[in-house]
Amino acid sequence: MSALKVAIAQVNPLVGDIPGNTKLILDQASRILDSEPVDLIVFPELTLCGYPPEDLLLRDSLQPRIQRALDALCAAKLPTALVVGYPKRVDGRLYNMAGVIVDGAILFEYAKRCLPNYQVFDEKRYFSEGDAQGLFEFKGRSLALSVCEDIWDGAPIEELRDSSVELVLNLNASPFHKAKQKEREALVSQRATTIKAPIVYVNQVGGQDELVFDGGSMAVAATGEVLARLPLFDEGALVLELTDAGQLVCKAPEQPLQHAHDPLASIYQALVLGVRDYVNKNGFRGVVLGLSGGIDSALTLAVAVDALGAERVEAVMMPFKYTSQMSLDDAEDEARRLGVKYRVISIEPMYNAFMSSLADAFADTQADKTEENIQARSRGVLLMALSNKLGYLVLTTGNKSEMAVGYATLYGDMAGGLDVLKDVPKVTVFALSRYRNSLSPVIPETVITRPPSAELAPDQKDEDSLPPYEILDQILELYIEEDQSADAIIARGFHAEDVRRVLRMVDINEYKRRQAPIGIRISKRAFGRDRRYPITNGWKIGD
């Protein structure tokens, strides 16, 4: 029995671009083979169509396109086997399939058995469950295929406990959330020790709409030891060897192990990758955003520049009579530090024109939130005009705390194509700003230390209408991410009036969030595909 060389290919596919993804597989395989000969290269789940393909799976033309791609991979007749993921219809049923291509033909196929239907996953809408083990023979070695949820559910892996399996290949499209890599490593280690066999865990990388796939592919020994990791948030490859004695060893010891990043670094990298791929994969020339002098827009600007480069980012300060000199100075300072194109366009002429047109309709009424919202909507009109003219995507800057309680203006500061901080609570915004400044000081200290304000009225502060963010964010996490009731949250020691007011604000602003741009998911429960509540309902806040 000879040693078996196995390569991990951590790649960034584009959903729906089946020809492009086929080329991606062949190009990555060629790069690996140029470095050294290997027996087998493993790619992530559904690499041929990208993940998640959603309702593209319902298209009649899907299967012919997948078949053409498989034919192309077979026709390449590479001097190595390929393990790739793809959707396949068999007897009228669609399966999430993993196939092994050897010498120009498909040697073995395995249909994913455990289909996730929680959080952002909706696989039971599309796929049927497989019903067979993934064991197959390759070059005299006993290997097994599994796909993503199979290892989380555990049953398909544990069935291998008394088998002859020497190595498990697990194909994944596992999206990022805070501390996810730590969860993955603990899980894969536990599965490996259970079956007393090593596991190669291959994950995709890249942004897809609100999801970010962070990679973190790994090789785990039968003892549960993590032998090697590929980087988080970047493509890469790694060669391993299954020895004659059945031990898995890393064939590239010169590559240092990539230790799990600290939480803030991981979140920041997820935001950068999410912005980069959303902008580039959708073909935008660049991005434009309103720079207010506040911390949310400052952090959004830093993320955008790190994602795209300063030359593809434009910042616009849109002052009004309530805009402080400090805000004007800080916004200009931020733009200068990051080297972006910066312009100032006052909204006062627009605002005055609106108020003149509405004078009769507003006669005999008192000024209220309406006038504040007209300010925000004036800014939205300017940014969308620049977007249309320049071909730039508008980045909105609202954070999760604001989106939760409706502290944002529909068709105003919510107008845009991508909300970078939509899943980032305000307290984390401050922490991320400190983290980014530890790399280079791009956000002025006054922006971080000053009390947050929308500056839509004289001396306005966020905490005039909201609990302190340190309290608000805890309440929101318990309600949004953990689905706890008002009574359960109050029982934790929070003021009953604050809890009920905050929860009501969350509930009544569902209609706003349905019209908000998508945002990059960094938690276990983000607004969007993660959390689906009816706008019209009679549910009462309580137990």
Which residues are identified as catalytic? 45, 112, 148
Question: Which residues lie across from 241 on neighbouring strands?
Answer: 5, 249
Cis peptide before 468 (omega within 30 of 0): no
Residues 189, 182: Cα–Cα separation, whole Å: 11
Helix axes 426-439, 469-476, angle to 10 degrees: 110
Helix axes 18-35, 62-76, angle to 10 degrees: 20
| Amino acid of residue 484 | Q
Q: Which two tokens stand for residue 324?
A: 């402080």
Question: Which residues lie across from 101 on neighbouring strands?
Answer: 82, 106
Question: What ranges in 441-495 are assigned the alpha helix state H?
Answer: 445-449, 469-476, 486-490
Residues 136, 529: Cα–Cα separation, whole Å: 37
What backbone torsions phi and psi does residue 279 show, to the nearest 5 degrees?
A: -70, -50
Residues 249, 256: Cα–Cα separation, whole Å: 14
Q: Are strands 236-242 and 248-250 parallel, antiparallel or unpaired?
A: antiparallel
Helix axes 263-281, 426-439, angle to 10 degrees: 90
Q: Which residues contact 370 (CB under 8 A, 6 or more apart)?
A: 362
Of 37, 33, 42, which is closest to residue 8 (Cα–Cα)? 42
Residues 321, 448: Cα–Cα separation, whole Å: 23
Residues 287, 394: Cα–Cα separation, whole Å: 6
**What is the Rg, in whole angstroms, of the alpha carbon atoms belonging to the chain?**
26
Residue 180's SS3 state is helix
CA dihedral (257, 8, 118, 476) positive or negative: positive
Residue 379's CB is within 10 A of a number of other CB atoms, namely 25
Which residue has tokens 């196939």?
99
Which residue has tokens 């200290």?
445
Residues 185, 457: Cα–Cα separation, whole Å: 50
448: which DSSP letter? H
